[in-house]
Amino acid sequence: MHVSFVCTGNICRSPMAEKVFRAALDEAGLAAGVAVTSAGTGGWHVGEPMDPRAAEVLQRHGYDTAHTARQIDSHTLSADVLVALDHGHRRALRDSVPEPDRVVMLRSFDPGSTDDAEVPDPYYGGPDGFDEVLRMIEAAVPGLLERVRKEV
């Protein structure tokens, strides 16, 4: 199985979600059966590391921070589950794949959120935005993990 997280530039939200989900798979003993990637809808940051503010938040919470930004490609689009972080990402993905039901919003897996809720872009805000994004991701990951567990 392949799960891919998608945001705008692949330096903040999607790599954070990738790292948190990968850690959850490891903890659940499912990592061997699930490939996890992330990508951006745009190519502005291809080849760059994760935003330092995102890396700092992840590191502070014990997550891996190794990352090189990528843009959506055929490998991304072949994922079994494409996880969008906001409505624009969802639209771009649904326009790019013949099976739009493979595209889901990350926060739809958070029982305390609505199915249509977005993970806001923290890039132009302060460091607190990255902490909030991590909280949103961590709230959604158990639900996504349960979906993947049923399909693996």
The predicted-structure confidence for 35-69, as pLDDT tens digits, reads as follows: 999 999 999 999 999 999 999 999 999 999 999 99
CATH of the domain at 48: 3.40.50.2300
**Residues with pLDDT less than 50, the chain:** none
Structural domain count of the chain: 1
Q: What is the span of the domain harbouring residue 88?
A: 2-151
Residue 147 a catalytic site member: no
Question: pTM to 2 decimals?
Answer: 0.97
Residue 13 a catalytic site member: yes
Residue 7 a catalytic site member: yes
Which residue is catalytic, options 64, 80, 121, 131? 121
C-alpha distance from residue 8 to each of 20, 45, 59, 86, 150 (Å): 18, 10, 22, 9, 29
